[in-house]
A and B are shown apart, each in its own frame.
Chain A
Amino acid sequence: MPLDPRFDTTIAMLAARADRSPEAVAFQYQDQPVGYRQLWQQVNRFANFLLALGVRRRESVLLLLPNGGEFFTAFYGVQRVAATAVPLVPASGPRRVLELASQCRARVVVVPSGAASTLESVAQEAGLRLVTIEEGADETDHASFPTVGPEDRAFVQFTSGSTGSPKGVTLTHRALMTNLEQLARGMRASADDVFVSWLPCYHDMGLIIMTMLPFYLGAGLTLLPTRLRNASSWLGAIERYRGTVTAAPDFAYRLCLRLVAAPETFDLSSLRVALNAAEPVRTDTVRRFESAFGLGRVMISGYGLAEACVGVSTTIPGSALLSDERGFVSVGRGFEDVKIAIIRGGGRLPAGQVGEIVVRSPANTDGYLDAPEETAALFWGDGYLRTGDLGYLDEAGNLSIVGREKNVILRQGENIGPHEVEACADAVAGVRYSAAVGIDRGDVAGEQVYLFAEVRRALPAEAYPATVRGIVNAVHGHLGFRPGRVFLLRSGSLPFTANGKMQHPHLKQRYLDGRLRAQGSILFPDY
């Protein structure tokens, strides 16, 4: 029996919430609660404003907004007029915004109210209209809005591949609602849950899992600004609002372990689910986080990709995380109606064998925006799309991710997942984060593990050699081999995506073309 989402569209979802529980709090942002009726009114006013601007059905409208109420007003306001919302990283530079606007033929960009936009100087020339939520605040919230149906395109999420320009993943309301139902069931989430999120709303995990899902369920939501440096504000909000569901990539949990001096002072006992996804889950993180904060089994691991809305699988809340002998943590079985297969060279592989993960889900995208070739390459066949991730299924159908297709290090004939190496380095004093890539310089050594470790600003230069030795010994002691090279990097020079994913290919490229050195990112050694 196919999944039956509770609503057809995001618009039907919000309308129903406003109708059934107008006074209920839709979300809190910086301790300011906003109710469903209020949200719905704001959405309708802004939608009216968009109609007055001439925004048409299916037209892409860019959102350049940070976390906060304005994001929701814009996101759903665009969808209210059957147009397509395109959230971008709000800190995107003018040139990037113009490129993406041109790629999706957008004419309107929503920017924050009351703040000068860096786009102003270039927008007019490029024919872009910058608008704010405030501009639409005086509109009436009644109008005859276009009908929005499940097959209408709700939004486009841009995703960076390892090569080429970003691709816009198109998602229908039907796909989104389906994924929300899958997530709700997979995470055992209900209206009783309280979501607490500091993830960015302009990216899939922060947007769909952490803000759309609570709206879908009628659950609570406390949204925070995305300030990674302040891990305590995240944990503090979980405590204060008695949060039951939160989510972050592995590194954010590690960040907490590093930054929070006295974890025992936080009462996170309300937490039911701490989703660890979007980068490889480290058993060490799970164990240390749960132990430091005195938690039971709250961490679940998950897997997904923008091309399937967001979520494909999670482990079952409350269950122990399974990891194999190499430390790869299982991300559970596919959600309902999701089929996962492992392929190599066009054929399917049996359980236990590592290959590319392909996914068939009713929440899959129809393709990339105006990119027929990339869309054709995305689909493997029989409705399965290629993830570019490598993994294997166990006999019970549990998926484990071992790396990206292009980012598994093949050292002396053996596959090494970069995160295995990184986990060792990250545990060394003075190291903030690290990234391992495979580099073959064509010399005697063949492909080697190159480890780039960001060190803390406070680490004195005299400590650099000892830090490198510490990393070498940590890797050797745990994995039985030494990295080919270890570089200490200036704090903040490792390339992460906005979602917190390490961009290994980008790092590798920057090292190989000499930019990493030329830009002064490499602190040590000087060769």
Chain B
Amino acid sequence: MTVDPAEIEALIGLQLGREQVIPGDRLVEDLGAESGDFVTIIAVVEERYGIVIDEMELADIVTVGDLYQIVAARTGSR
């Protein structure tokens, strides 16, 4: 299973109500994600890709690209 980065960008765009989302965007600072949004994005990603992101990984997610890397690594390794 390969994940297209654009899929993750679109998903985040829908969750946060943002039309333009690029890999370098920081979820909180650039896209305005609040704590509640952060957890819902993770929940949606987990459900969609059938993965579980642990707390350590969560802490490392700052940008849209960071989230993509985690999803790609998880889905590619299965």
Instruction: Identify the A interface with B (CB < 8 A).
Output: 411-412, 441, 443-446, 448, 465-466, 468-470, 472-473, 476, 481-482, 484-486, 525, 527
The stretch among B22-30, B32-40, B64-72 that forms the contact with chain A is B32-40
Which residue on chain B has the smallest CB distance to residue A474? B17
Whether B14 pairs with A465 at a CB distance below 8 angstroms is: yes
Does the CB pair B44–A482 fall under 8 Å?
A: no
Give the residue of B11, B16, B34, B42 whose beta carbon is less than 8 angstroms from that of A445.
B42
3 smallest beta-carbon distances between A and B, as pairs:
A472-B17, A445-B43, A473-B17
B48 near A412: Cβ-Cβ < 8 Å:
no
A465 CB to closest chain B CB (Å) equals: 6
B75 vs chain A, min Cβ distance (A): 13
Interface centre among A441, A448, A482, A527 (most CB of B within 10 A): A482
- B47 CB–A CB distance under 8 Å: yes
Cα distance A411–B46 in the bound complex, in angstroms: 20
Give how many A-B residue pairs fall within 8 Å (CB-CB): 59
B10 adjacent to A469 (CB under 8 Å): no
Contacts of A476 on B, CB cut-off 8 Å? Answer: 17
- Closest residue of chain B to A472 (Cβ to Cβ) is B17
Given contact pairs A443-B43, A444-B42, A445-B40, A482 touches B16 in the complex (Cβ within 8 A): yes
Q: Nearest residue in B to A485 (C-beta to C-beta)?
A: B44
Q: Is the CB of A465 within 8 A of B47?
A: no
23 A-B pairs with C-beta separation under 8 A: A411-B36, A441-B43, A443-B43, A444-B39, A444-B46, A445-B36, A445-B42, A446-B39, A448-B40, A465-B13, A469-B17, A469-B18, A472-B15, A476-B17, A481-B34, A481-B36, A482-B15, A482-B17, A482-B36, A484-B40, A485-B40, A486-B14, A527-B47
Indicate whether A482 sits within 8 Å of B40 (C-beta atoms), given known contacts A443-B47, A527-B48.
yes
A472 touches B16 (CB 8 A): yes
Report how far A231 CA is from B60 CA in the complex, Å: 54
Nearest Cβ distance between residue A346 and chain B, in whole angstroms? Answer: 34
Binding site for A on B (CB under 8 A): 10-11, 13-19, 34, 36-37, 39-40, 42-44, 46-48
| Extra inter-chain contacts (5) besides given A444-B46, A468-B17, A472-B15, CB under 8 Å | A443-B46, A445-B43, A469-B13, A476-B17, A482-B16
Q: In the assembled complex, how far is the CB of residue B8 from the closest CB belonging to chain A, in whole angstroms?
A: 12
Q: Which of A443, A445, A481, A485 gathers the greatest number of chain B CB atoms within 10 Å? A: A445
Which residues of A have CB within 8 Å of B19? 466, 469
- Cα A527 to Cα B10 with chains together (Å): 12
Residues from chain A with a CB closer than 8 A to the CB of B17 are: 468-470, 472-473, 476, 482
Please name the residue on chain A nearest to B44 by beta carbon: A485
CA distance A481 to B32 in the complex (A): 11
Given A443-B46, A465-B13; A482-B37 close (CB under 8 Å): yes
The listed residue with most A CB atoms (<10 A of its CB), out of B37, B40, B46, is: B40
Contacts of A466 in B (CB 8 A): 19
Complex CA–CA separation, A486 to B40 (angstroms): 12
Q: Residues of A contacting B14 with CB < 8 Å?
A: 465, 468-469, 472, 486, 525
Roughly how many angstroms separate A448 CA and B15 CA in the complex, as a whole number? 13
Give Cα distance in the complex from A443 to B17, angstroms: 22
Residues of chain A lying within 8 A (CB to CB) of residue B39: 444-446
CB closest residue in chain B, given A468: B14
Also in contact, A484 and B16, with CB within 8 A (given A412-B36, A465-B10): no
Name the distance in Å between A480's Cβ and chain B's nearest Cβ.
9
B40 → chain A, closest Cβ, in Å?
5
CB <8 Å contact, B43 and A484: yes
The distance in angstroms between the C-alpha atoms of A446 and B34, with both chains bound, is 15
CA separation between A208 and B2, bound complex, in Å? 60
CB distance from A469 to the nearest CB of B (A): 4
Query: Roughly how many angstroms separate A448 CA and B43 CA in the complex, as a whole number?
Result: 10
CB-CB under 8 A from A412, the residues of chain B are 36
Q: Which residues of A contact B10 (CB under 8 A)?
A: 465
A443 CB contacts on chain B under 8 angstroms: 42-43, 46-47
Q: A473 to B17: give the CA distance in the assembly, Å.
A: 6
Instruction: Output the nearest chain B residue to A527 by Cβ-Cβ distance.
Output: B48
Q: Which residue of B lies closest to A480 (CB)?
A: B34
Q: Which residues of B contact A473 (CB under 8 A)?
A: 17
A469 / chain B contacts, CB cutoff of 8 Å: 13-14, 17-19
Please, which residue of chain B has its CB at the minimum distance from the CB of A465?
B14
A415 to chain B, nearest CB (A): 15
Residues of A within 8 A of B40 (CB): 445, 448, 482, 484-485
Kindly state the separation between the CA atoms of A35 and B39 in the bound complex, as whole angstroms.
Answer: 65
Q: How far is the CB of B72 from chain A (nearest CB, A)?
A: 17
Q: How long is the Cα–Cα vector from A469 to B19 in the complex, in angstroms?
A: 8
Nearest A-chain residue to B48, judged by Cβ: A527
**Chain A residues positioned under 8 Å from B16 (CB to CB):** 472, 482
- Residue with the greatest number of chain A CB neighbours at <10 A, chosen from B34, B36, B42: B36
- Which of chain B's residues have a CB closer than 8 A to the CB of A472? 14-17
Residues of B within 8 A of A470 (CB): 17
